[in-house]
Amino acid sequence: MGATDGYFPRGTSMLRRVHEQRAVGLMYGQRALGIGAIAPLNFVGTRLHSRSLDKPFHRLAHTGKAFETIFFGSRRDADRVLGFVERLHQDVRGELPAAAGPVPAGTRYSAFDPDLMLWTVAVIADSAQYFYELFVARLTPAGRDALWRDYIRFGELFGMPREAAPPSYAEFREWWDAELASDRVHLTEEARHVGAAIMFQIPVPASRRLAMHVHNLVMLGSLPARVRELYGLRWTRAQAAAFSAVVAALRTTRPLSPEAARVGHNTRSFDLVADTERERIARGETVPGAL
């Protein structure tokens, strides 16, 4: 069940092909949230209704597992997740209590606003494609079109009208580049705090902290220059050279690992992060990104 009866069947869905790669599944969500935070109406509107401000990595892990159920699961399992999300989104509506960069106080927001939904899908689509092409293989033009069509379908499952999305990959990429270059993007101080923590301060056991240095370099190098600028992140020639060397090494060694280590769900990794965060809270330690 799930491989052939889900919304994104194995063998025909480009989205499934991309997200089944663990290298994608382990990193796209953090990058998507980090970039997503530069849209102030999305960020503030979500924050005002979040129940996990003190546990940001619990929320990240929960979202990652929910999305993998939709990507890989049966329609029955996916519909269960979608129904739960739809009920949560019913309450995500209101007006900004204060200005957020270029967005004035009093601006209305809703989880079902088509433009806000498109932005949410877009940061996921851009991030997943980026890591797939970085670590696995470059997609053909037809593959990119197929992937974007799947993301439109993904957005529709959450209620995004099809007409809200650019109809082709080329038009999506043109829209995306224009959005990143526009004066509509802005980082509030809270968004900078949360976004940087999600991308670069993932709570993991001590045995995995060395690997996080590699993770953080790859994450930093993956960000568009405009996003690094907004976060105030330096990107030197030395870092760029190290990024290229690390990516080359990972691309070379990745095919040598067992398929089970390269393809599949990331539930265990998501739970590890959430459990480490929970342990830190129990010890009274500060949690990165908590508000």
Q: Within a domain: residue 222?
A: yes
Q: Within a domain: residue 5?
A: no
Q: What is the DSSP letter of 177?
A: H
Residue 23 clears pLDDT 90, i.e. is over it: yes
pLDDT tens per residue across span 68-90? 999 999 999 999 999 999 999 99
Helix (H) or strand (E) holding 141: helix 141-157
Q: Within a domain: residue 291?
A: no
* Structural domain span for residue 237: 14-282
Task: Share the mean pLDDT of the chain.
Answer: 95
Name residue 149's amino acid: R
* CB 100, CB 44: distance < 8 Å: yes
pLDDT tens per residue across span 42-66? 999 999 998 888 999 999 999 999 9
Tally of structural domains, the chain: 1
Q: Within a domain: residue 288?
A: no
In the chain the beta strands, taken as DSSP E runs, fall at 93-95, 108-110
What is the per-residue pLDDT for 4?
A: 65
pLDDT tens per residue across span 228-263? 999 999 999 999 999 999 999 999 998 888 887 899
- Long-range contacts, stretch 84-92, CB < 8 angstroms, 24+ apart: 85/158, 86/158, 86/159, 89/158, 89/159, 91/49, 92/45, 92/46, 92/49
Going from the C-alpha of 282 to that of each of 52, 107, 168, 186, 286, the distances in angstroms are: 16, 38, 48, 34, 10
Q: Within a domain: residue 20?
A: yes
* CB 219, CB 31: distance < 8 Å: yes
Radius of gyration of the chain (CA): 18
Q: Within a domain: residue 289?
A: no
Bridge-based pairing of strands 108-110 and 93-95 is: antiparallel
Q: Within a domain: residue 31?
A: yes
Q: Within a domain: residue 290?
A: no
* CB 263, CB 31: distance < 8 Å: no
Nearest C-alpha neighbor of 125 from the set 28, 191, 34: 28
**What is the Cβ-side half-sphere exposure of residue 216, based on CA atoms within 13 angstroms?**
17
* Residues in CB range of 188: below 8 A, 6 or more apart: 40, 43, 44, 100, 101
What is the per-residue pLDDT for 1?
A: 44
pTM of the model: 0.95
Q: If you average pLDDT over residues 210-227, what whole number do you get?
A: 96
